[in-house]
Chains A and B, each alone.
Chain A
């Protein structure tokens, strides 16, 4: 029982309630410490010199003048970060991204760094570094990059995974295929087949807090890093490997985090800060500017997706096919692969085939962005399904219900599904009042479904009972979305004590075993499982202590509602012992009371959502405004429903920005034209309606309380739902996001011309 992860139905006292957020007061009063808020005595200012070119060979770097400048304590190039990755290509790519070695691959790629006594000196030193570049032809567009004569990023990049071994190198690093059945036969059985190309522009996660860290390496080889990250254990492991340090000698502390969304899942400039500190023998602080964040960290992929779907007049989808090209920056990743896996995952298809392409381009190294790759794939597939439904005269929602995947369906990525929640979200959408609300002038309604995998991973957690009976829950997963409250609720539930008796803290890397980072919607899923197990182990200790206090066998002690109870009529006179009473006596029953758990939390279970939205389009300006939005998603069990609603709303808000405004704009010179929030426009409050949410609770069989991850799926349907709504408002199919005013106007003009013709 202590480590049994399976779900057992129970009634809850704490789980499912909505206590005030424990970090709220500190955050609204400015007391909370974010990455840039940490200082060390005598720390230096670190700055990074970045390439102005999209693609160039580094012929020579002269740092001599910068080194001689008064106040400069260290100047660093790739020579100070030798390759210690031992053939690990993924880590080598991260290293090369942190500091370019022989070539720069994008505008903003780091080429050198300085540490100086103040900002002015550091800036002056950067100007004194002379880099001799041989500028090379570049390519930033994903479709241009796959052409045979496109400028080549890596001369040794031969496509992996194709039908035959390629003779020539190309920018297609990898092709991956999924599917089953015979799609050509399926298309032949269809009454209508639609094939279209869809494009999505590159967007940034848009986290409000830029990357920031303070690093200190002592001459004895030990180091400390204070950093804003989604996973300080992972950052520790990365930095230790790249700098040749022992993992145990580098202690990493995570700050509060002002958003990550996948962009803070691997290191960017933290190894540089540590290397500078090691060279200068002083702590070094680096805080990226917003421009650096845009130019050199974590955007998602730009994509170009060809989709072909066939349908019969009775509404049965007979076949689906997609070719998905995802730009991954200069290094191999798995973004096209994930697009290929997720694109048709909502549907029960007899014939389906998807191919994902990892395309190298002269843009920053793409990073995960909340359900990475799924939103773009959903945009393409859900748009065509909407169009097909209209062509056969059926309600698009009913067509989705008719073709939805269910238990026993072979998923488009391979395995057969167990119990899943797409059907219930669609049924809930059908019954939702939003569906019957009248639409105004120039308004359209759209729906879309979304899928994401979710996962668990390595997790290590401590429960410590204080002498006053209050409980500290120590976790190693960074709290990006309110997990401290949710985890404390779960441990309070398991121990049978009030929520306000439990305090959850995110520990540094010296305090716990390795924890995977907070990604894949795993924070609450996996740390709550580990917390529940640690609480169960704590209860075993509490029972032993009560047995000692009563001088009875531990087998005669039970734990109920936060109390030890002696079982059996012979102990009728023994009053139950509360946790507080046992804690107070701990010094004389064996010492501190604690419980620990280290687990791999597999079995997160896949996740589905359905979104409904109404959009109003101004035909004169092309501006689109979301006037109503509803998110319906399965949470398994909402531990803290307010936070779950927040995750649903947050995903929708980011998706609205992605759909309507956000895009990286590159000039012909390969330089990013809009690296700031004035020109790269994320939605603000006035751009958004109140986003309605409906939480479904279909218990996850692989979690003691039925919990599923909820952080990512909510960003999958919005682009498609909004595109369908805009398309429905004017009868013009939108195939390119963002649907910014110029792009909408262009589509409207094109439609007018077609009508006239």
Chain B
């Protein structure tokens, strides 16, 4: 079980929790399980969510592994200029 830290906009979908626990090996599996457990996150995931794994931010590489003990933060999938 990994601790998944949520940014503010996702917390209402998790009953106000700032951290949820999910068993997932990859970002793809993490997103799938989050949608199953917290359907309120679906619109956010559709709009775009990035994943920070030990400080490195992944926007698109959903096959990326979630190492044991890694710090995992969900963040908005940011736009740039």
Contacts and interface: CB of A to CB of B under 8 A. Distances in A.
Given A90-B47, A178-B7, A416-B71, A603 B56 contact: yes
Interface string B40-81: 000000010000101111111100100000010101101111
Interface in A410-427: 413-418
Nearest to A419: B55
Contacts of A368: 79-81
Nearest to A520: B80
Given A174-B9, A177-B8, A519 B80 contact: yes
Interface in B1-43: 5, 7-9, 11-12
Interface string A699-716: 000100000000010000
A610 interface: no
Nearest to B13: A161
Task: Find the residue from A175, A417, A456, A458 having the highest chain B CB count within 10 A.
Answer: A456
Given A368-B81, A602-B56, 12 more contacts: A175-B9, A178-B7, A178-B8, A334-B78, A337-B9, A414-B7, A453-B78, A455-B59, A519-B80, A520-B81, A602-B58, A604-B57
A738 interface: no
A371 B81 contact: yes
B59 A702 contact: no
Contact of A418 (B9, B54, B81): B54
Given A368-B81, A453-B57, A457-B60, A414 B73 contact: yes
A605 B55 CA distance: 9
14 contacts: A90-B47, A176-B8, A177-B8, A205-B81, A265-B81, A341-B78, A414-B52, A415-B73, A416-B55, A418-B54, A455-B59, A520-B81, A522-B80, A602-B57
B55 A415 contact: yes
A370 interface: yes
Contacts of B5: 414
Nearest to A711: B81
**What size tier do the contact residues of chain A reach?**
35 or more
A299 interface: no
Task: Find the residue from B47, B58, B81 having the highest chain A CB count within 10 A.
Answer: B81
Nearest to A165: B12
A338 interface: yes
Nearest to B46: A88
A530 to B, nearest CB: 13
Given A602-B61, A702-B56, A160 B78 contact: no
A174 to B, nearest CB: 7
A207 to B, nearest CB: 11
Contacts of A355: 8
A512 B60 CA distance: 19
A574 interface: no
Contact of B52 (A161, A334, A415, A456): A415
A6 B9 CA distance: 33
Contact of B80 (A337, A341, A413, A521): A521
A559 to B, nearest CB: 28
Contacts of B64: 602
Task: Find the residue from B11, B54, B55, B73 having the highest chain A CB count within 10 A.
Answer: B55
B78 A455 contact: yes
B9 A176 contact: yes
Contacts of A372: 79-81
A457 B81 contact: no
A574 B71 CA distance: 54
A337 B78 CA distance: 9
User: Which 4 pairs between the two chains have the least Cβ-Cβ distance?
Assistant: A262-B81, A520-B80, A177-B8, A415-B52
A369 interface: yes
B5 to A, nearest CB: 6
B75 to A, nearest CB: 6
A690 interface: no
Given A161-B9, A161-B12, A455-B57, A520 B73 contact: no
A261 interface: yes
A602 B12 contact: no
B47 to A, nearest CB: 7
Contacts of A337: 9, 76
Nearest to B78: A453
A458 B60 contact: yes
A334 B47 CA distance: 11
Nearest to B72: A415
B8 A457 contact: no
B78 A602 contact: no
Contacts of A177: 7-9, 11
Interface string A575-597: 00000000000000000000000
Given A161-B9, A261-B81, A262-B81, A457 B52 contact: no
Contacts of A265: 79, 81
A458 B60 CA distance: 8
B30 to A, nearest CB: 15
B25 to A, nearest CB: 17
Nearest to A354: B8
A713 B7 CA distance: 23
Contact of B56 (A370, A418, A458, A712): A418
Contacts of A261: 81
